[in-house]
Structure 1
Amino acid sequence: MEQSGGEAAAKRAKGPDHDAGAGGEDRLSALPDDILVLILLRLCIEDAARTSVLSRRWRRIWTLLPELRFGIIQDPYLLRESLSASDVPLRLLRVCFPDASAQSLAVWLPAAVRRVSGELVFFNLVTGIATGNEEDERGTFELPYFKKATSICLDLGFLGLSMPPAGVFARLTDLDLTDVRFHSPRELEDAVSSLRCPNLQKLAIRNTKGLDSINIDSESLQLLELRNLRGVLQVTVLAPALKGFTLWHCFILDQNQPVVKISAPQLKLLNWTDSYDPSSVHLSTMERLQTLSSFFCVYGKHGFPLNHACLALLPRFKTIKCLILTLCYLTEIDNLDYLMEDMTMLPDITSLKLIVIAKGHAIGASAFHVLRLCSGIKRLALVSYQFNLKKHMSMIVDNKSIELFHGKLYLDNKIRISSLVSVLEQTVCSSGCICDQPTNWKTEDLSLNCLQDIEIVGFGALEHEVAFVKRLLNWVTVLKMMTVTFRHSMTESKVKEFFQMCQSFSRPGLCMKFYIYQNLDKVSYAPED
């Protein structure tokens, strides 16, 4: 059987040390090095390193690990010492550093360059809110030339970043840069070009300053994500292999005219949540496009830029397989206009994913309006978020991922995050709120005669949610599958009550599945008799 790099390296170590102890047979220490390495991989790196004091036999076992996941580490010299303790190639190095400076990165990154042959992940956990607007005193560093790395993910807390002027990242397939002050946009463009990154497949650039233009020319790139690029004036992408492209809040942040040119004949997914003007945005034919994602605010003032962009973009595509439409409610809507009536047409689609950021408001009116415009769909996914974002000072994350709106924060081994993070707080709208209007969804008939598959995610069994699902089940005629995933906060009694209500709509050929969360694990639900 083929062995991983860490296991192969472990076999090069010496056999059991018979001087390990005289108190009896030590069967654990007698195990082969590759087995001991697999055991230590289940520990956090701090605990794994502590095993070195057990005996001479264990002294260097932890240095054979092919993966190093550091929790919060504050001493860059200690990190450099840990990395220098071995020559074993690392398929994963993950580091979390509070309030890191450019100088502190320069201490340990050269040691990381020597060992990383797989994935490098670095989080700069900035105390307070890092915006990049203030004069940054933590400096700028040059990214070393990681010639063996396959994936680099850097969340820099708005440290300054200069890309290496030379060198080919021959093995790099994924590059993810978040909260970065770029030294020069030309450096980035050169570094991610086909000449410098011939195998780059995924590129994500989020929350940046210093990029007034983005010019991507890559023959290998398949996924490109651009989010919150402050000050950007122009985006040009020439990527013949590109399959997915996301443009999210780049031009709209500074109310800049969107100047975009995309040449991506293989594109299958387009996620556009930004300003759009057909006179300055030039998209290629996109004959292979299958999925389009856009954003619309349910209440607001007429002429809202993102709504205008959505209404201008959608007519460009007459027929498309899947539409992902995000409907967003503001928390306070009493003095705002109902904007859904501005949406009068949708592309001809077979699948609709409707993401509703409801913040406690009733979703029946807006969802009904959208369904009337695409009554021929075969599949509907309804994802409901009934919360606001709330700031919280400290959180324990135990081998889980916190999924936020458009991305995930991955942290391991019970890391305590002392910096500000966002967590979810469920909210309920005020009594007498106008969100339930217009009420035609409660009385009008709608024929969804092609709809065969319904998936509902984030269901809370609130009164207005249950009422909408009842109407939905009355509108369908050929439904074959219905899947419901309840919200984390659901009580057993609420789940059981909704389950029984759905069973009243059961008929031959219809399969219903229900899922709840136990802690953070999604499990199938069936009521006890």
Structure 2
Amino acid sequence: MGPSCCGGDGEVGTKRAKLSSDASAGAGSEDHLSALHDDILVLILRHLGTLAAARTSVLSRRWRGVWALLPELHFVFSSDPNQIGPAIQAHEAAIRCLFVGTRDAGPESVAAWLPIAARRLYGSLFFQNLKREGSAQEGDDEEGPGQRGAFELPCLERATNVSLHLGFLGLAVPPAGVFARLTELCLDRVRLYGPGDLGDAVSWPRCPCLQKLTVRDARGLDNLAIHSDSLRQVELTDLQGLRQLNIVAPALEELKVTHCFFSNRSQPVASITAPQLATLAWMDPYDPSSVHLGEMKRLRLLRPFFFIVYGPDSFPYNQSCLSLLRRFKVIECLTLALAYLWDIDDYHYMMEDMTMLPDITILQLNVLANGHAFGASAFHVLRMCSSIEKLMLSFVPPAEVQAQTTCPLGCICGEHQNWETEHLLLNRLKEVKVTRMRGSEHEVTFVKQLFNWATSLEKMRVVFDESVTESVAKELSQVLQSFARPEIRMEIRTYMEDMLKKMMCVPED
């Protein structure tokens, strides 16, 4: 794994010489496997689990220390966690990658092996603690970290990548020490508490090389202040209880803040200083009087909170979306989500509140229709950004399997259908990509209208939803092809075909 492992080369060379000497002592045997070069034996052992590889030491003197040359250690979920510490202790070479998987481990179990690993690790650490069925639930916020206990994160001085998925174990951040080589840190499902402060630990000078920070499903983090000259990506998701966020990062290029302020009834407070920021996803309440974004002259992609099409008067989250949209005059790419609740009969049509959009070139429009007629709301958006050159339309599937596929008879979503006869000219639109299409009447009607509006359209790609059968996909393909003009290049894929192309890294035209 690159230069991070170079520190162990001298140790490995010394051990190889010793192992070769042991091999010559038993040269009279017919054990051809043991006669192989150390490098070959290490390659063989890498296909075993680490504990199984360690057990080969009992085969003969020749095998006694071969497993200790392994550059990567993997302790899978079936391993006895009590064996992890002794196995790492017995391993003498530099560890380039350490993976530990446990089930419902307690903090004392982690504390038994993690400090040992910290002294041997020269690369990546991946730790995943899965919750057993019937154990404490992940959303059990009444149980604080002090009640369950916690382990302290040692200063991983030579680690380059640390990813901890803790199943809501308590984690104590060290109050001092330097993570000198750490470039990526991911904390997932974690309960944080003192004496250390997470913001201080990931800031300069304690984390001088950190480029990517991800914190998801965190508890116990009410104030996060980060000052870093190296950070380029920050993703914060579901930080329950967060009250204040402060980021000063001159090199930051991508910031995603999602569902971090929802649990607080108080006004969100944030200050972001990131003059190089290119991507901003702020999926949270936004009030310009308390959330200060600073100068972002290089911003090219914006994603605000979703917009509820039918809702109560003065819906606060819609106002957050609109306030953020007004904050920027020109954006190259805008990601906008329109959401329909299942039961909308007692709500008002909210699209008239959206009176302007930034000047954009690319629109990513995500529609969660829940079976409702969505054409009017999507038309409203397109009418305000008629100079776009590329449209990516995604039909978001309902979160619940049993969600409605068609709205009830007489639903108010049918009251705004004059959009089909209104004039709209998208004469700069060259490319359209439609994803997760299931073939409902509303979807087909809207896609047909796109062909009429986009007079200069050159290419359309359609990817069907995974629920679409092969026979339905064939029928839909014929319908869509009938809408296209001869000069339009059509590309239609099933969900599986699209996934295979992505897995094979086939570049898009």
| TM-score, normalised by the number of residues in structure 1 | 0.82
The answer for the alignment partner of 1:336 in structure 2 is 347
CA separation in 2, counterparts of 1:297 and 1:3?
Answer: 50
Q: Is the 8 A contact 1:388 1:427 kept in 2?
A: no
The answer for the alignment partner of 2:442 in structure 1 is 464
CA separation in 2, counterparts of 1:235 and 1:447?
Answer: 43
**1:166 aligned to 2:176?**
yes
CA separation in 1, counterparts of 2:415 and 2:195?
Answer: 48
1:65 to partner: Cα distance? 3.4
The SS at the match of 2:76 is strand
The answer for the alignment partner of 2:421 in structure 1 is 443
The answer for the alignment partner of 1:515 in structure 2 is 493
Q: Which has the higher strand share?
A: 1
Match of 2:405 among 428, 435, 447: 428
Q: Is the 8 A contact 1:244 1:269 kept in 2?
A: yes
1:477 to partner: Cα distance? 1.5
Match of 2:114 among 100, 109, 117: 109
Letter in 2 for 1:124: N
1:471 to partner: Cα distance? 1.6
Letter in 2 for 1:163: V
The answer for the alignment partner of 1:400 in structure 2 is none
CA separation in 1, counterparts of 2:385 and 2:334?
Answer: 10
The SS at the match of 2:197 is helix
**1:284 aligned to 2:266?**
no
CA-to-aligned-CA distance 1:78-123 (integer Å, 9 cap, x gap)? 2223323423333332222222221111011122212322221222
Give runs of aligned pairs for residues 48-197 of structure 1, distance below 5 A.
61-73=66-78, 75-126=80-131, 127-136=135-144, 137-184=147-194, 187-197=197-207
Q: Is the 8 A contact 2:223 2:243 kept in 1?
A: yes
Match of 1:200 among 210, 213, 217: 210
Match of 1:350 among 340, 361, 365: 361
The answer for the alignment partner of 1:488 in structure 2 is 466
Letter in 1 for 2:84: L
Give the number of the structure whose alpha-carbon radius of gyration is greater. Answer: 2
The SS at the match of 2:500 is strand
The SS at the match of 1:84 is helix
Q: Is the 8 A contact 1:184 1:210 kept in 2?
A: no
1:144 to partner: Cα distance? 0.7
Give runs of aligned pairs for residues 312-391 of structure 1, distance below 5 A.
312-389=323-400
CA separation in 1, counterparts of 2:55 and 2:465?
Answer: 40
The 1:237/1:48 distance shift into structure 2, 3 A limit, reads same
1:218 to partner: Cα distance? 0.8
The SS at the match of 1:245 is strand
CA-to-aligned-CA distance 1:122-167 (integer Å, 9 cap, x gap)? 2222245312512243202211111111111222232222211222
Q: Which has the higher helix share?
A: 2
1:74 to partner: Cα distance? 6.0
Q: Is the 8 A contact 1:516 1:522 kept in 2?
A: no
Give runs of aligned pairs for residues 211-290 of structure 1, distance below 5 A.
211-290=221-300
The answer for the alignment partner of 2:303 in structure 1 is 293
The 1:444/1:264 distance shift into structure 2, 3 A limit, reads same
The 1:463/1:91 distance shift into structure 2, 3 A limit, reads farther
The 1:520/1:314 distance shift into structure 2, 3 A limit, reads closer
Letter in 1 for 2:294: S
1:503 to partner: Cα distance? 2.5
The 1:503/1:173 distance shift into structure 2, 3 A limit, reads same
1:369 to partner: Cα distance? 2.0
Structure 2's unaligned 5+ residue stretches are 503-509
The 1:364/1:55 distance shift into structure 2, 3 A limit, reads farther
The SS at the match of 1:288 is coil
Letter in 1 for 2:141: N
CA-to-aligned-CA distance 1:444-463 (integer Å, 9 cap, x gap)? 33211111111222222233
CA separation in 1, counterparts of 2:416 and 2:453?
Answer: 18
CA separation in 1, counterparts of 2:426 and 2:272?
Answer: 36
Letter in 2 for 1:139: G
Q: Is the 8 A contact 1:10 1:34 kept in 2?
A: no
Give runs of aligned pairs for residues 7-86 of structure 1, distance below 5 A.
13=16, 14=19, 32-38=37-43, 41=46, 61-73=66-78, 75-86=80-91
Q: Is the 8 A contact 2:173 2:195 kept in 1?
A: no
The 1:507/1:61 distance shift into structure 2, 3 A limit, reads farther
CA separation in 1, counterparts of 2:59 and 2:416?
Answer: 71
1:370 to partner: Cα distance? 1.5
Q: Is the 8 A contact 1:365 1:437 kept in 2?
A: no
CA separation in 2, counterparts of 1:249 and 1:185?
Answer: 26
CA separation in 2, counterparts of 1:144 and 1:173?
Answer: 16
1:497 to partner: Cα distance? 1.6
Q: Is the 8 A contact 1:76 1:107 kept in 2?
A: no
Q: Is the 8 A contact 2:221 2:239 kept in 1?
A: yes
1:517 to partner: Cα distance? 4.0
Deviates more, 1:126-135 or 1:463-472: 126-135
Q: Percent identity?
A: 49
Would you say how many aligned residue pairs link Structure 1 and Structure 2?
Answer: 487
1:29 to partner: Cα distance? 6.2
CA separation in 1, counterparts of 2:413 and 2:57?
Answer: 62
Q: Is the 8 A contact 2:4 2:123 kept in 1?
A: no
CA separation in 1, counterparts of 2:258 and 2:31?
Answer: 62
The SS at the match of 1:252 is coil
Deviates more, 1:311-320 or 1:481-490: 481-490
1:481 to partner: Cα distance? 2.3
Letter in 2 for 1:501: V
The 1:491/1:121 distance shift into structure 2, 3 A limit, reads same
1:247 to partner: Cα distance? 1.9
| TM-score, normalised by the number of residues in structure 2 | 0.85
1:306 to partner: Cα distance? 1.8
Deviates more, 1:161-170 or 1:73-82: 73-82
Letter in 2 for 1:364: G
CA separation in 2, counterparts of 1:29 and 1:52?
Answer: 12
The 1:105/1:350 distance shift into structure 2, 3 A limit, reads same
CA separation in 2, counterparts of 1:276 and 1:166?
Answer: 34
RMSD after superposition: 3.2
1:204 to partner: Cα distance? 1.9
CA-to-aligned-CA distance 1:258-292 (integer Å, 9 cap, x gap)? 22111111111111111111222222111111111
1:193 to partner: Cα distance? 1.6
Q: Is the 8 A contact 1:150 1:174 kept in 2?
A: yes
Q: Is the 8 A contact 2:342 2:404 kept in 1?
A: no
**1:474 aligned to 2:452?**
yes
